[in-house]
Amino acid sequence: MERIDNTIKDAVINAINQLYNAEVPVNQVSIKKTRKEFDGDFTVVVFPFLRFSKKTPDLTAEELGNFLKDNLTEVVDFNVIKGFLNLTLSHHYWLDFFKEINSDKSYGLKSKNEKFKTVVIEYSSPNTNKPLHLGHIRNNLLGWSVSKIIEATGNKAVKVNLVNDRGIHICKSMLAWKYLSGGKKPEDENVKGDHFVGDYYVAFDKEYKKQIAELVKSGTSEDEAKNNAQWMKETRTMLKEWEQGNEGVRTLWKTMNDWVYKGFDQTYKKLGISFDKIYYESETYLRGKDVILKALKEGILQQKEDGTVFIDLTKEGLDEKVLLRSDGTALYMTQDIGTAIIRYEDFHFDESAYVVGNEQDYHFKVLKIVLDKMGYPWANNISHISYGMVELPHGKMKSREGTVVDADELIEEMIQTAKEKSEELGKLEGFSQEEKDEIFRKIALGALKYFILKVDAKKNMTFNPEESIDFNGNTGPFIQYTYVRVQSMLTKAKEQDISEFNDFENIEKLEESEISLLNKFYDFEEVIAEAGEKRNPSVIANYVYDLAKEYNRFYHELPVLKEENINLQKLRLSLSEKTGLIIKIALDLFGIEVPERM
């Protein structure tokens, strides 16, 4: 069935031709869903047509409305509000539409065709000097969800992770472990490997600050103290030794990173996150250095007297961007250049998207320009899925001071909160402890994922764990509970021997809440398309919340199992089943599981 908005658009173009003997360009015909406060299903914006009609907006809309009502069987009524033409569609149209989509178990999702695009999504990108924290959770959930949405629009998403496993920050944890650990390993203290290593990163900062204070006390300026503190000098030496392949430094580096990777894997598993390929900065930065030195020889880049390699972007309104330090060591830009080139060789992508915080907007702008100047034609296919800061109600986080909101601890706190809230409601009687624990986990992670993804990624946000696990309001548990309500009704229908209910017939009139549900079903395909185009899961979050609200209104206003008219009962059971299916599909695009009972 052709989408009705396209049918209306074609009819409007024909109407302008018939009424005013004029050809209106397709891009000037705007068909929108009618706003909730007005009667109607679709709205035509008539202002672009006034130059053809030479009449007032209301009169033009009136003439257009009469033409559409006379010539489109789907249109049964219209009203005009300040130059906006609101069209009401027939109940028969909505029933036919529902019959068309009702058997489609993957409604809203598109399968790949020969025109699909390959989109590489880089997300997570952790440093191996600390565990994952709340900011990483937003990054991971955003990257995972965008990947799922890209697949849902019929394209191919390749999920990749670039682990920042080298650099001065990694050496800080290594140095602190070397001096303070006494040779202990994570298992010796029964601590996850990423937490174990992260503790030494915090320990480094404490000792470093202590050394700075002592130097300042002896008369050294603060800047000199920061530069000449003993541990900072040793850390720089360690980084050089690492880049030169020093066996002892490399062995310690590998050992500590392995501890961290095991810890990361446990957290990823809890979040339901995975990757198709993992890149390591310790490998890709070498390619970046080679490419930069080659570009230097070719005159694309410049070198200062101290050996620093840079590119002059002042003509582009930017600055001189350093690509290699004076001592030859690499920067983030070095490895990003190398990674981008390797990634294109691996996947020949149509787009390479980086899920990285908005503080790196400038970095990715420069990356595209540098790669383009180096002669890589695919540089313009790089995109940045930028997101804002996420905080808790009590403020910002700082890794080196040990004040971050740890991802593992947050997940456990969410599960505990889900348990307390569920037990308050008293709806889990008769469940085994194992079943209860699984429901608590699904509710907790559903709350966490939905609360974070419902906010437009570009905005800063405050994550409130208590508020996220509310069974009322715009939350994951509310939507999950709506799904469970549907499943409970379908189970009761089977218990009453009502198993076949998709063959409803002879229905002449729909109730307003039934039409509202069908309107929401109609929107689903476009919502997924918009979320994919904008790389914005919050579009789907807003939709599925509205759908859940509409269903609960329908549920409270109309009898379903108690409906005496068999055809109406079948229709309402079918509407319920479809609502549940769309909720499940929508939440799956966030990586949210739906419990069958809760």
DSSP 33-79: EPPTTSS-SEEEE-GGGHHHH-S-HHHHHHHHHHHHHHH-TTEEEEE
pLDDT tens for residues 163-188? 999 989 999 999 999 999 999 999 99
Reduced DSSP (H G I as helix, E B as strand, rest coil) percent helix, strand, coil of the chain, to 5: 60, 10, 30
Cα Rg of the chain, angstroms:
30
Query: Is the model's pLDDT at 402 over the cut of 50?
Result: no
How confident is the model at residue 404, as a pLDDT? 66
Q: Residue 200: how many CA atoms within 13 Å on its side-chain side? A: 30
How confident is the model at residue 100, as a pLDDT? 94
pLDDT tens for residues 317-336? 899 999 998 988 888 899 99
The CATH architecture of the domain made up of 4-89 is 2-Layer Sandwich (3.30)
pLDDT tens for residues 132-165? 999 999 999 999 999 999 999 999 999 999 999 9
Query: Is the model's pLDDT at 264 over the cut of 60?
Result: yes
pLDDT (mean) for 553-566: 96
pLDDT tens for residues 237-246? 999 999 899 9
What share of the chain in percent tops pLDDT 70?
98
pLDDT (mean) for 189-214: 96
What share of the chain in percent tops pLDDT 90?
85
How confident is the model at residue 392, as a pLDDT? 77
Instruction: Give the CATH H-level superfamily of domain 407-588.
Output: Isoleucyl-tRNA Synthetase; Domain 1 (1.10.730.10)
Domain with CATH 1.10.730.10 in the chain: 407-588
Q: How far is CA 92 from CA 8, 99, 212, 508, in A?
A: 16, 11, 78, 7
Domain with CATH 3.40.50.620 in the chain: 123-391
Query: Is the model's pLDDT at 395 over the cut of 70?
Result: no
Nearest residue to 404 (alpha-carbon basis) of 226, 195, 181, 204: 195
For domain 123-391, give the CATH number: 3.40.50.620
Q: Which of 129-143, 459-473, 531-545 has the lowest mean pLDDT?
A: 459-473
3-state secondary structure of 162: strand
Domain with CATH 3.30.1360.70 in the chain: 4-89
Q: CA 97 to CA 85: how far, in whole Å?
A: 22
Matching residue, tokens 């600050």: 209
Confidence of residue 401 (pLDDT cuts 50, 70, 90): very low
pLDDT (mean) for 234-258: 95
pLDDT (mean) for 301-319: 93
The pairing of beta strand 118-122 with beta strand 351-357: parallel
Matching residue, tokens 């490419």: 291
Confidence of residue 396 (pLDDT cuts 50, 70, 90): very low
Query: Is the model's pLDDT at 291 over the cut of 80?
Result: yes
Q: Which of 112-121, 368-377, 426-435, 480-489 has the lowest mean pLDDT?
A: 426-435
Confidence of residue 503 (pLDDT cuts 50, 70, 90): confident
- The pTM for the full model equals 0.92
Query: Is the model's pLDDT at 2 over the cut of 90?
Result: no
Number of Cβ within 10 Å of residue 184's Cβ equals 12
Cβ neighbours of residue 364 closer than 8 Å, sequence gap 6 or more: 354, 356, 382, 384
Confidence of residue 400 (pLDDT cuts 50, 70, 90): very low
Confidence of residue 1 (pLDDT cuts 50, 70, 90): low
How confident is the model at residue 18, as a pLDDT? 97
Q: Which helix (H) or strand (E) holds 123?
A: none
| Phi, psi dihedral angles at 462 (to 5 degrees) | -110, 120
Question: Across the strands, what pairs with 311?
Answer: 321
Work out the mean pLDDT of the chain and round it to a whole number.
94
Q: CA 425 to CA 69: how far, in whole Å?
A: 51
How confident is the model at residue 551, as a pLDDT? 98
How confident is the model at residue 405, as a pLDDT? 80
